Amino acid sequence: MEQSSVSVDVVALRFGNPEPGSLRYGVAPRRWEPYTGQTALPGVLLGAGERLETAARRAVTTKLGIPDDAILAVGQLEVFDEPSRDPRGPTLSIAMWAVITADNITTDPAAATQWRGFDEHGTLAFDHDRIVAAGRRILATSLLWRDATFTRALLGAEFPATHAVTVTTTLTGNRPDQGNLNRTLKAIPGLERTDERVRVQATGRPAVVWRWTTT
């Protein structure tokens, strides 16, 4: 029986940069065969004895040109085992998520990184469109507001309620009911509603600020 290789493909998320108030994931043109020049998620073959987080960070730094210290958190999404997913031969894909800081960072221009919205059209190499779709579902149903490491990395140590609405809408595809969202936020350990308000948009009321109380 032919032995499979293992790849690590990453849905690298960035909220608020380069477009304020938006949640996007990173892709870049492939430099080598197969699919040379076609846009793809950052991915690498897993090295012997290499940990998944290490491989995911390596994928983001080498394929998206992002410095390692700009990667705030990393985690696992799902395994994709379709034998024909890679024309080079059977390759098992372990899909990971990573959150990239929204701060301005110096990236490698040779990577030609693009930040794409989840509803933007465009075919990715391999089965990466399927990975993005599945990743979006898992992020929405299993990680956002349920995994403190992911949620805090994505939104920061404190965030206005409007940002909570934005990321929920982006990942679920539906704008949340404000009352239900507030109840969800209140139930999260280590997250509190403050008395502070901040103006996020030029019009409308200032938004309530939520803050993590744990480090």
- Tell me whether residue 161 is in a domain: yes
Q: What is the pLDDT of residues 43-93, one digit of tens each?
A: 999 999 999 999 999 999 999 999 999 999 999 999 999 999 999 999 999
Question: 162 is written with which tokens?
Answer: 């409007």
Query: What is the number of domains present in the chain?
Result: 2
**75: enclosing H helix or E strand:** strand 71-80
Residue 21 lies in a domain: yes
Examine the domain organization and report whether 22 and 112 are in the same domain: yes
Q: What is the structure's pLDDT at 18? A: 87
**Whether residues 17 and 101 fall in one domain:** yes
Residue 91 and residue 176 in one domain: no
pLDDT tens for the chain, 215 residues long, are: 566 799 999 999 999 998 889 999 999 999 999 999 999 999 999 999 999 999 999 999 999 999 999 999 999 999 999 999 999 999 999 999 999 999 999 999 999 999 999 999 889 999 999 999 999 999 999 999 999 999 999 999 999 999 999 999 999 999 999 999 999 999 999 999 999 999 887 777 899 999 999 87
Residues 91 and 38 in one domain: yes
User: 161 burial class (0-12, 13-18, 19+ CB within 10 angstroms)?
Assistant: buried
pLDDT digits (tens, 9 = 90+) for 31-50: 999 999 999 999 999 999 99
Q: Based on the fold, state whether residues 77 and 182 are members of the same structural domain.
A: no
Q: How many CB atoms lie within 10 A of CB 92?
A: 17
Domain containing residue 57: 5-125
